[in-house]
Structure 1
């Protein structure tokens, strides 16, 4: 049985990749998970997996640093949030990569390549790792703000781009994520979201509501004098609390 190790400092990303792999390659056995590069190296040496999926950005030791210590032992697949600018470094070498969030189609392709490569020993990718390091040093910094929301839907993990979110509304236990086509619930608090989202893209208009600015179609006062927002692709109107009316000074 082919074995693999997953290393990513974000637990939901590890869960998502594990679930995707179970669908794309049912016979693949995940023997361990690591939250950073140091753990990945230790577990890989102890468990000897045939494949290691490495996040590039991890605390303590990056995925590239871990790969330098492991590539002669196993096949490496990088899992990364970098865009095409940096991914060009993968194009001509033996290292495969998955772009976050991992899609089923792209993972199918990677699994097919891995099945072929497993017939041979791991390739010497030392030169490519050096080239990849140089490319990533020149790449624009990864966005600091939250770009993906992870929502559990049944037994699967749904990935939602923040560009598709119209608003977030919290209650006592959950936060509601509203898009033009779906309503989902997450356990992330509104305070956590406010700290992680780009403040130029999302405004807090109420203690329980964050709204995407470019989703606002119009602002009007109702018969009670409250400021109410009408959003594109949404029938629901959102109230602006008194503490946040300064966001709409012309009103």
Structure 2
């Protein structure tokens, strides 16, 4: 599918967004994230390719945030039904469709759960495609940091959970993935690197104790100090194992906990 052409002059008008995803909770989460972005208006939602095609014809959105897997159809099946073609941003839990997404001239490709900083970057890509100037937030704004009661959508192996940031007890890096230990249920393995989590989560109470460990200080059950070079961390979280810490991590935790 050829890239859409747009001749609109630069304007301060908001981006009109259509959300297409067969999961209601995923649409709600993305709507909430978009509501925090300046110059964005969500004008509709659809849960199927057929409904999305009809809404796009009626509403003429600037951009569609489009899920890939929507059985029995695919988000790619929507593209030939769009006339005129808006800018497309794919949003999916699977990275294997990325190459195909860019061959059809998608502006961006976001992995679920969507991070606030990546969403902001995707919106900038959309504005570049549409030749629309970016809306610069005030210097005091901190758009990428979550509050403790802000919602997160976590997904692993088909399980989708809505949690608050404060419900996360700790995060342990496992390559491109993160093991997320939650205060009241079993852990989840989420496709997101530790650096992204460090940017998103408020500090304090979250502390990056070591390269592969971020701890919510409010969820520390105990810190047993064996020596200046070693300690054992125990968390108030379901299934979180005790973790042996080296000197650097132990020193950071002791300072943060004022021990």
Q: Which runs of 5 or more structure 1 residues have no equivalent in the other structure?
A: 121-142, 155-159, 168-175, 184-210, 216-230, 235-251
CA contact (8 A) 1:41 1:70 kept: yes
Kindly report which structure 2 residues correspond to 1:105-144, keeping only aligned pairs within 5 A, or say none: 105-119=117-131
TM-score, normalised with respect to structure 1: 0.51
Structure 1 residues 166 and 48: CA distance shift in structure 2, 3 A: closer
User: C-alpha distance in 2, partners of 1:36/1:90?
Assistant: 18
Structure 1 residues 90 and 38: CA distance shift in structure 2, 3 A: closer
Structure 1 position 21, deviation (Å)? 1.4
Structure 1 position 91, deviation (Å)? 5.1
Structure 1 position 45, deviation (Å)? 0.7
CA contact (8 A) 1:77 1:98 kept: yes
SS in 1 for 2:69: coil
Bigger relative CO (Cα 8 Å, ≥ 6 apart): 2
Q: Which runs of 5 or more structure 2 residues have no equivalent in the other structure?
A: 1-12, 133-154, 172-176, 188-214, 220-236, 244-259
User: C-alpha distance in 2, partners of 1:38/1:60?
Assistant: 11
Match of 2:161 in 1: 149
Structure 1 residues 68 and 102: CA distance shift in structure 2, 3 A: same
Which protein is richer in helix relative to its size? 1
Kindly report which structure 2 residues correspond to 1:93-112, keeping only aligned pairs within 5 A, or say none: 94-95=105-106, 96-112=108-124
Matched, 1:22 2:35: yes
CA contact (8 A) 2:90 2:101 kept: no
| Number of matched pairs | 153
SS in 2 for 1:42: helix
Larger Rg: 1
Structure 1 residues 71 and 62: CA distance shift in structure 2, 3 A: farther
CA contact (8 A) 1:8 1:36 kept: yes
Structure 1 residues 58 and 44: CA distance shift in structure 2, 3 A: same
Match of 2:22 in 1: 9
Structure 1 residues 91 and 233: CA distance shift in structure 2, 3 A: farther
Q: Which residue of 41, 63, 77 corresponds with 2:53?
A: 41
Structure 1 residues 60 and 109: CA distance shift in structure 2, 3 A: same
TM-score, normalised with respect to structure 2: 0.50
Structure 1 residues 88 and 73: CA distance shift in structure 2, 3 A: closer
